[in-house]
Amino acid sequence: MQVGTNSTLLSSLDINHDISNIVRYGKKQLKEVRSRLDQFLDDLLKPIGRSERQKWGAQYVQGLLSQAERKTVSAISTRSLDNNHQAIQQLLHSSPWDSDPVRLSMTRKAMAELEPVEVSIIDDTGFPKKGKHSVGVARQYSGTLGKMVAVPADKG
């Protein structure tokens, strides 16, 4: 996937609005954020191969990064111009790509960013769930929120 391709994807989701709300800087800073996101998506999605997979993967990741409250595949695809939740579902559940190269690539990127750091503290990134019928949710302590709430249960 080329960086120019991601710019089209950025506008297909309401990511410009989300970024401008978060960053609240001028056009130069927004361009820099877009460029960094494009590079991140290139690095993240290159190992999954086909351009269609990269396209749907980029839409999914951008949807997860948006400020929208609901981040289901259906909600993410509804906010995109393509509105094709079936393609994103297929990518995530039945498309024949190996997740190991993606994980390895992101691990290397994270380690390169953390190299000068001698100590890192890693905490869960639990997020509160709403509704009574969410699968895999239990009341437990969330370090992120600092209290007992319904969050996705540990799988351990």
Cβ-proximal residues to 7 (8 Å cutoff; 6+ apart), any chain: 34, 38
Give yes or no: residues 92 and 20 share one domain.
yes
Q: Domain total for the chain?
A: 2
pLDDT at 21 over 70: no
Give yes or no: residues 109 and 127 share one domain.
no
Give yes or no: residues 98 and 133 share one domain.
no
pLDDT at 45 over 60: yes
Give yes or no: residues 109 and 153 share one domain.
no
Whether 22 contacts 36, CB under 8 Å: no
Give yes or no: residues 39 and 105 share one domain.
yes
For residue range 132-142, what is the model confidence (pLDDT) as tens digits? 666 667 777 77
Q: Can you say how many angstroms the Cα of residue 87 is from the centroid of all Cα atoms in its chain? A: 17
Given pLDDT bands bounded at 50, 70 and 90, which one contains residue 127? Answer: low
For residue range 59-91, what is the model confidence (pLDDT) as tens digits? 888 888 888 888 888 888 888 778 888 888 888
> Per-residue pLDDT averaged across 46-71, rounded?
88
Give yes or no: residues 142 and 105 share one domain.
no
pLDDT value of residue 68: 84
Give yes or no: residues 151 and 82 share one domain.
no
Residue 7 belongs to domain spanning:
3-114
Global pTM value? 0.56
